[in-house]
């Protein structure tokens, strides 16, 4: 599994994990992110049960798992959080942050849970001494109870399935290198998985008001620099909620 430090300043660190070469052929590739603040950790979309061993091994290089306090689940899908039962077993005392809609659903992934269910308007996700990580609404993009996570310190916006791309297996680029060439890998996904143009416009308007250095999706490559506004413009112009391209 590839890992990369995306940000490391003033006691805050963002680490990317993804492109698990050992995952089963039928599993969609996923990105996991670890945020560390004051030595305490938050796993953002910790992933499915099948890739737990790889994520666990990668995380072990960075932090004692007992220091992971929070699992952030952007929504309820199995590739996002079906590893929940295992993390609860190995981490000890962790709190799960997710939409109020999914408390009863993700509990089916097992374990004794401490849930912090977010209201539709989102809210602060406290990590260590910090109180600036913000769950921002991304409902219907694609899940009806969906959150992005914004960090004003690093400018990183974790966007869940927004900006996701289904990349060919041999593409190991963590960052988007050629935006126009990248469109082919994300266009169908957004048209089909995102059901609402209204929700899309609302999210874009919200995103344009944030300071964003990187947009980090749960699948595919990360947008940084000029590719951030480029992605927002592209997404703005795209009609979603359609079958096919």
Partner 1 sequence: MNDGETIKELAVNIYSIFSELTPTLPRARNLSLNAIVTSARHGTQGLGFGMVSNELNVMVSDMEELLNQVVKTFSDISVFSGQKLQEEMYMQKVLQAEKTIKRSMGENPTDKAVSADHRQSEPQPESQGGHEKHNLDSLSNSLQSIQGKLSSNHQLMNDLLRKEMGLLNQLSWLVAQKGHFISISAKIEAARFDEKSADLRVVAQDIRQLSQDIKELVEKTKDNMSFIIKNLT
Q: What is the contact surface with partner 1 in residues (CB under 8 A)? A: 1-5, 13, 15, 19, 21-22, 36, 39, 49, 52-54, 56-66, 85-86, 89-92, 110, 172, 174
Angle between helices 227-237 and 197-208 (to 10 degrees): 150
Q: How far is the CB of 165 from partner 1 (least distance, A)?
A: 18
Q: Which is nearer to partner 1, 65 or 117 (CB)?
A: 65
Q: How far is the CB of 93 from partner 1 (least distance, A)?
A: 12
And the tokens for 118? 């977010």
* 59, 131, 203 from 210: Cα distances, Å: 29, 17, 11
Q: How far is the CB of 172 from partner 1 (least distance, A)?
A: 6
User: C-alpha angle 163/169/172, rounded to 5°?
Assistant: 70
Q: How far is the CB of 124 from partner 1 (least distance, A)?
A: 24
Q: Which is nearer to partner 1, 62 or 204 (CB)?
A: 62
Q: How far apart are CA 81 and CA 44, in angstroms?
A: 9
Q: Which is nearer to partner 1, 63 or 206 (CB)?
A: 63
Q: Which is nearer to partner 1, 58 or 98 (CB)?
A: 58
Q: Which is nearer to partner 1, 85 or 160 (CB)?
A: 85
> In this structure, how many other beta carbons lie within 10 angstroms of the beta carbon of residue 43?
26
Long-range own/partner contacts, residues 18-24 (CB < 8 A, 24 or more apart) = 18/174, 19/172, 19/174, 20/51, 20/54, 20/55, 22/54, 23/50, 23/51, 23/54, 24/50
Q: How far is the CB of 17 from partner 1 (least distance, A)?
A: 9
The closest of 228, 85, 207, 60 to 147, measured between CA atoms, is 207
């Amino acid at each position: 599994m590839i890992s990369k430090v995306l940000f490391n300043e003033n006691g805050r660190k963002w680490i990317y994990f993804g492109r698990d070469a050992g995952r089963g052929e039928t599993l969609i590739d996923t990105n996991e992110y670890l945020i560390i603040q004051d030595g305490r950790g938050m796993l953002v979309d910790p992933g499915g049960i099948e890739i737990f061993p790889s994520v666990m091994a990668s995380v072990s290089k960075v932090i004692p798992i007992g220091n992971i306090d929070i699992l952030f689940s952007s929504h309820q899908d199995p590739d996002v959080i079906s590893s929940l039962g295992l993390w609860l077993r190995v981490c000890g005392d962790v709190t799960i942050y997710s939409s109020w809609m999914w408390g009863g659903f993700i509990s089916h992934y097992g374990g004794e849970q401490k849930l912090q269910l977010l209201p539709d308007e989102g809210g602060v996700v406290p990590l260590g001494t910090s109180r600036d990580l913000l769950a921002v609404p991304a409902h219907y993009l694609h899940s009806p109870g969906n959150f992005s996570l914004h960090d004003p310190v690093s400018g990183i916006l974790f966007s869940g399935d927004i900006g996701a791309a289904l990349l060919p297996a041999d593409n190991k680029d963590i960052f988007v290198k050629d935006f126009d060439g990248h469109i082919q890998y994300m266009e169908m996904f957004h048209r089909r998985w995102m059901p609402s143009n209204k929700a899309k416009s609302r999210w874009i308007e919200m995103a344009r008001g944030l300071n964003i250095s990187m947009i980090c999706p749960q699948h595919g490559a990360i947008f940084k620099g000029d590719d951030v506004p480029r992605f927002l413009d592209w997404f703005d112009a795209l009609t979603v909620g359609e079958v096919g391209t």
